[in-house]
Structure formats: structure tokens, C-alpha cells
Amino acid sequence: MDKKQQIMDVAIELFAKRGYENTPISAICKHSNVSKGLAFHHFENKEGLLREVFLRMAQIIEEVGDNVDLVNEELSTKERFVSHLEKIFLSMTCAEHKLYYQFDFQVLCQPALRTLLKDLFDERYQLMLESFQSILNDIPSADSLVDSHMLIAELDGIALNYLFAEDEYPLTKIKQRFIKKHLLLLGL
């Protein structure tokens, strides 16, 4: 029964559901059956908890991607591109991660929090950019840098709209049109 882990698990959930500012430490403690003193024993302060929680969350999400990456040997550029996109769409639909992504956007859009975690965001964006560029570099008709920025932004937007739509969202159909559209643009 690792209390620290317990605290973080509850924190992720409550931060995502209620928002960081609206989640008092006391609520996290209550839900994880832990005293407030212990929470501050394990984490320097609320911001420290946020940082650790955010790191853990990013780590959990990335595990999905890692499993798929193994297949990506010996494929054509087109196949690699499509599989990369499919992978991203897949990770969106993973129900248990929905909360995590919602929290991610929440932090992204809140100036105070964003600043706090800027380094982590920048690092992730850079990784994302490079992974797209490494594929698009093989395609002459692509503007590898601009198109990578564009792809990231568009996928962000689709995720955002999907995640926060309470009624069902035509994600699968959008995915198909989205991929088709990009293959056309790239002349594949």
C-alpha cells in the first residue's frame, strides 16, 4: 500500500475532473485516506504534487505509443505515416486516458499552470515534431517542418473537440477523412 502512489492517483483524477485550482489538498487526502500532513511530507507543496502528477501522467500515456512502435520496421513511408497517425488516434480513444488528456489541455490553456510546466510541454512538443519530420523528410512534396506543425495542431484540435464533446463525436469518420486528406496533400 504505497501511500505516495495512492495520493498521486487520486490527485490525477481530481485535478482532471475538477481542475487544479478547484481541488484542495484536503479533498485529495480524504479520497486517498491519508492525512494532510503526509501529503506535505511526500510533496514539497501543491505545485510539486502537480509536477510529479503531470510527469507520471505523461509517462502512462506514452506507454501506449511504445507498444505500437515495434512494428514500424521495414514499412514504406506511406505505411509509416498512416500507422503513426493511427497510433495517435488510437491513444485518444483509450477511455481510461480521457481524463489525462483533458487535464493536459486544461494545464496547457491555463497561463499560470502552463508556465509552471513549460519545460515539460516544450520537450514533448519537440519530440512530436521530430517524429513527424523524420517521416515527412522522405516525401519530396512535403514541407516537412510546416506540415509537422500543422499535423500536430490539427490532431490537437481533433482531440480537444473529441474529448470535451459529451455526446458522441464522429471520430472514426474524421480519422478516415483526415488521413485521406493528408495522403492527397503529400501525393501518396
Partner DNA sequence: CAACTGACCGACCGGTCAGTCAATTAGTGG
Partner DNA sequence: CCACTAATTGACTGACCGGTCGGTCAGTTG
Secondary structure of residue 74 in the 3-state scheme: coil
Exposed (0-12), middle (13-18) or buried (19+): which is 98, by Cβ within 10 Å?
middle
Shortest Cβ 104–DNA spacing (Å)? 20
Q: What share of the chain is helix, strand, coil (3-state, %, to 5)?
A: 80, 0, 20
Name 106's Cβ contacts closer than 8 Å, sequence gap at least 6. Answer: 15, 16, 19, 20, 113
What does the DSSP 8-state code read for residue 124?
H
Instruction: In angstroms, give the least distance from the CB of 78 to a second copy.
Output: 16
One symbol per residue from 8 to 37: x for binding DNA (CB under 7 A), - otherwise; what is it? ---------------xxxxx-----xxxxx
- Does residue 38 bind DNA (CB under 7 A)? yes
Q: Which residues bind a second copy (CB under 8 A)?
A: 17-19, 21-22, 102, 105-106, 108-112, 114, 143, 145-147, 149-150, 152-162, 164, 169-170, 173-174, 177-178, 180-182, 184-185
Q: Which residues bind DNA (CB under 7 A)?
A: 1, 3-4, 23-27, 33-38, 40-42, 45-47
